[in-house]
Chains A and B, each alone.
Chain A
């Protein structure tokens, strides 16, 4: 019963990832695609948590933390690119 419910939750998360993938392919602007990318990584985090319950291991819990940090850094870099055109700015006086 527990295994069936966990598998159903995994299937629902992959449905959410597939729908966000459709938004990445057909999004009209670049911020649409970045928002959908952020949502894919967030769903991937919870999929990793469910898989680590299903396999009865604690070895995948670092993956959750690292995926969270990577999603935050990549979203901030992409938003700086959308806003200003560069990600790392040069020094102004020289």
Chain B
């Protein structure tokens, strides 16, 4: 096993860790009680999983083909920028359209702010 094979093995291990994180995020999306905690699971750890696997694919192509893929770098940057923004927008829309929180919620700091504005 020479140096290049060890490098490929580490890169594939990175991809495998990303897929395990993605499965953990899917378990979070099925186990959490309301939409806010579910989006907490879905946006953070699914984004981390896809970033790990895309970085792994980028380094793998770099090691095997000696080809730096600019499209893959752009894809990594785009997912990293837009995934939290889309999570924020959909959760803001969910709060504005009065989706119920779970009963364990102890504090809602946004409610008096919105009531003062109206």
Contacts and interface: CB of A to CB of B under 8 A. Distances in A.
A37 to B, nearest CB: 10
Contacts of B8: 2
B42 A39 contact: yes
A29 B57 contact: no
B15 A9 contact: yes
Nearest to B60: A53
Interface string B50-68: 1001101100110011010
A5 B79 contact: no
A83 B93 CA distance: 5
Given A12-B19, A65-B71, A32 B38 contact: yes
A35 B29 contact: yes
A22 B30 contact: yes
Contact of B93 (A32, A68, A80): A80
Nearest to A69: B78
Specify the main secondary structure of chain B where it touches its partner: helix
Contact of A72 (B27, B67, B74, B82): B82
Contacts of A56: 64
Interface string A22-51: 110000010110111011001101100110
Contacts of A58: 61, 65, 67, 69
Given A19-B26, A68-B79, A42 B50 contact: yes
B56 to A, nearest CB: 8
Contacts of A15: 23, 26
Given A36-B42, A56-B64, A83-B96, 9 more contacts: A5-B12, A12-B20, A16-B22, A19-B30, A31-B93, A35-B43, A62-B71, A72-B86, A76-B89
12 contacts: A2-B12, A6-B15, A12-B16, A20-B29, A35-B35, A39-B42, A42-B83, A45-B75, A46-B18, A46-B49, A69-B78, A83-B92
Question: What 4 A-B pairs are tightest by C-beta distance, nearest first?
Answer: A31-B94, A12-B19, A16-B26, A83-B93
